[in-house]
Structure 1
Amino acid sequence: MHPLIISDPTLRDGSHAIKHQLSRENLQLYSQMAEKAGIAVLEVGHGNGLGASSLQLGESLLSDAEMLSICRSNLRQTLLSIHVIPGFATINRDLRAALELGVDIVRVASHCTEADLTKRHIEFVRGRDRTAYGVLMMSHMAPAEVLGREALKMQSYGAQAVILMDSAGAYLPKDVTAKIQYLHGILDIPVGFHAHNNLGLAIGNSLAAAEAGATLLDGTVRGFGAGAGNAQLEVLVGALHQSGWDTGIELYSLLELAEQAETAFAKAPKLGSMSIVSGMAGVFSGFVKPVERIATEYHVDPKAIMVELGRRKAVAGQEDLILEVALHLSQQAGS
């Protein structure tokens, strides 16, 4: 079996669950214990990535520079990683500063059919001799051939791996197997997988990805993340070890980390009705809370809103559609 690299976005994707309010103490504790546990890569920042702190998306308690500096000071073997969405993060204002603070890996992300947007950022990172990965978000929305075309673009820009994100937790294991196998067959660089747990399949899907050729897997302690959360890191590592995979992580140290992080900030997400519906509809997990709030305000069924958002193929950044759909459903009910 090939070795696996486990990337831990607890301090990035997880921050969605607490409205991006990770404290200095949270970051200090977690980065120190991640290093001790042998986690290969620690991803840090606002839930939507570098430069995303704003009134629209939610303001982080600490700046990007503060978060990265705290974690950088505690990491020796563990690599420091960031998530970058072009449009939120600019090259000159955000990315250059992050690299100067000692970031090792930059994961440059786009919607799964818009890899062209990642070109300048990937080339900038590679030009400064740092590691750059491409990330295809909401990857359930495109067939394998389209994902392959976009991944090949990222490879041509200099990306050293491509990660498929199941941003809506919509995949079944057979879908993961088919798409990872396809990318693994056409790319000259490693393939990774980032799972969400809307249908309770994050661990199964991650195992399917590894079996299909993925060498990079993501997970957060206690599954800490938006909506139904991510693949639960300690469960994922335990299952991988039981299956014979080498992760390089000391499981008991990871279990201790998970217990302390849960006490401090990383509460396990609830796999509720709306998370299930969002997974079935293929809608980004982060829509759940605003959908519930707007549904209450306009007296419509939140599940109906979610289904209609899925029909319209809504993606992150199109939160204004929630209100439009709620108004439409409200008018229909009154007619």
Structure 2
Amino acid sequence: MSIKLMDVTLRESVHVEGAKINLDAARQVVSGLSKANVDFIEIGYVSSNEGMNLQSCCPIEYIEEMACAIGAGSSSQLVLMLHPAQYQEEFLERMKHPSVGMVRLCIPLAKTDASLPVIKELKAHGIHVSANLIRASHANIQDIIVFTEKVIEAGADYIYLADSNGAMMPPAVSSLFTKLKEHSSVELGFHPHDNLGLASANAIDAIQCGVQLIDGSLYGFGKGPGNLCIETFAAILNRLDLSKKYDICELIQLSRQAYSLFINDTSENSFYDKEEGILSGLHNLNLDVLDTLDRMAQSSGLKLLDLLVILEKQTLVNRAEFALRSTELSQVG
């Protein structure tokens, strides 16, 4: 089974109070994500809300700029989000852009039937459609199965469950997706929020139950307590031998850029602590090794994270070689 990651940093920014991601910052995000081999990059909502930030309306000029930011030879594709009730025929030009690989419909359970004509309309124009059931923690399995059957019949290519409230627990995630897999003929996706600190655990359980698409964001940036941290989850996928295609160092460096550009935090050291933990957890490094590496980094005028990234890029062939190299360094340190 091939796991695919979708980054939702730019689209989620719409829900973060005070977040202002200008065009240059958006270019950096898309460029870095494409270099890191992230499969899908969601850049915002398609709407007529002109005058708001770019991510709230996604005018064609913005989409073209984001398309140009994808590196040559990259397989990354852009994604747009749409509220079905806001659909207008004039949006088709944007949604049919060759760099847009998917349009996701944001669907409350009570609005399922109203969304079906929009799914059919988009499919008639050759657009790949994902039906995203929001606030899935409020729905029971039978409601979700009925939702699934209806949107598949309308032509949906993907079905997503969104834990919009960050309230799902791993057993519930496993149960939902196990049963949903039995009734679904399309790829399944999961959009976790991290309100209870369970985004990673829920995403792992979702994958084990057959989910192929997982959403995350840089540094977990997003509504409320945030989303699944995409750089952390890329490392988890690597460690579980589920996927090694994602450039974790590129994601960490991009997260650092995003942190300085538009992610606010009360502790200036929190970024480094979190990102150091990703690499030390990935390679199972103990505190003695990390202390030695930290002293080496300080003697060279670097932060520990900088040295870990250097080691990752220069000596990493696999975890065994990295651990061996780290042990050698600790012995001479």
TM-score range, shorter chain: 0.7 to 0.9
Report if the CA contact (8 A) 1:134-1:154 is conserved.
yes
**2:43: which partner in 1?**
44
Report if the CA contact (8 A) 2:161-2:190 is conserved.
yes
- Of structures 1 and 2, the larger Rg is shown by 2
**1:216: which partner in 2?**
213
Pairwise CA distance, 1:261: 1.5
**1:117: which partner in 2?**
114
Q: Larger deviation: 19-28 or 157-166?
A: 19-28
**1:294: which partner in 2?**
none
Give the whole-Å Cα distance in 2 for the aligned partners of 1:258 and 1:188.
Answer: 35
Give the whole-Å Cα distance in 2 for the aligned partners of 1:23 and 1:154.
Answer: 35
State how 1:82-97 maps to structure 2 within 5 Å: 82-88=80-86, 90-97=87-94
In structure 1, runs of 5+ residues without a counterpart are 271-335
- Matched AA of 2:84: P
Report if the CA contact (8 A) 1:107-1:135 is conserved.
yes
Give the whole-Å Cα distance in 2 for the aligned partners of 1:123 and 1:20.
Answer: 34
- Matched AA of 2:247: E
Pairwise CA distance, 1:251: 1.5
In structure 2, runs of 5+ residues without a counterpart are 268-333
**1:34: which partner in 2?**
33
SS at match of 1:151: helix
1:200-259 per-residue CA deviation (whole Å, 9 max, x = no partner) reads 111111111111111110000101001111111111111121112116312221111111
How many equivalent residue pairs? 262
Among 163, 167, 172, the alignment partner of 2:169 is: 172
Pairwise CA distance, 1:50: 1.7
CA, structure 1 residues 261+20, in 2 after alignment: closer, same or farther (shift >3 Å)? closer
Report if the CA contact (8 A) 1:122-1:157 is conserved.
yes
CA, structure 1 residues 268+99, in 2 after alignment: closer, same or farther (shift >3 Å)? farther
State how 1:133-152 maps to structure 2 within 5 Å: 133-152=130-149
- Matched AA of 1:36: K
State how 1:7-86 maps to structure 2 within 5 Å: 7-19=6-18, 21-45=20-44, 49-51=45-47, 53=49, 59-61=52-54, 63-65=57-59, 66-75=61-70, 76-86=74-84
Pairwise CA distance, 1:70: 1.6
Pairwise CA distance, 1:102: 4.2
- Tell me, yes or no, if structure 1 residue 203 matches structure 2 residue 200: yes
CA, structure 1 residues 259+138, in 2 after alignment: closer, same or farther (shift >3 Å)? same
What percentage of residue pairs aligned between the two structures are identical?
Answer: 23
- Matched AA of 1:125: L
Report if the CA contact (8 A) 2:77-2:99 is conserved.
no
CA, structure 1 residues 53+228, in 2 after alignment: closer, same or farther (shift >3 Å)? farther
SS at match of 1:169: coil
Pairwise CA distance, 1:99: 2.0
Coordinate RMSD, CA, aligned: 2.1
CA, structure 1 residues 179+221, in 2 after alignment: closer, same or farther (shift >3 Å)? same
Report if the CA contact (8 A) 2:9-2:217 is conserved.
yes
- Matched AA of 1:171: M
Q: Larger deviation: 178-187 or 67-76?
A: 67-76
Give the whole-Å Cα distance in 2 for the aligned partners of 1:147 and 1:20.
Answer: 33
Pairwise CA distance, 1:91: 3.0
**Structure 1: 4+ residue segments shifted above 3 A:** 52-55, 95-98, 266-270
Give the whole-Å Cα distance in 2 for the aligned partners of 1:155 and 1:39.
Answer: 26
- Matched AA of 2:251: L
Give the whole-Å Cα distance in 1 for the aligned partners of 2:92 and 2:206.
Answer: 30
Report if the CA contact (8 A) 1:177-1:208 is conserved.
yes
Report if the CA contact (8 A) 1:3-1:247 is conserved.
no
**1:262: which partner in 2?**
259
CA, structure 1 residues 258+4, in 2 after alignment: closer, same or farther (shift >3 Å)? same
SS at match of 1:82: strand
- Matched AA of 2:146: R
1:289-319 per-residue CA deviation (whole Å, 9 max, x = no partner) reads xxxxxxxxxxxxxxxxxxxxxxxxxxxxxxx
Pairwise CA distance, 1:4: 0.4
- Matched AA of 1:142: A
Report if the CA contact (8 A) 1:6-1:247 is conserved.
no
Pairwise CA distance, 1:192: 0.9
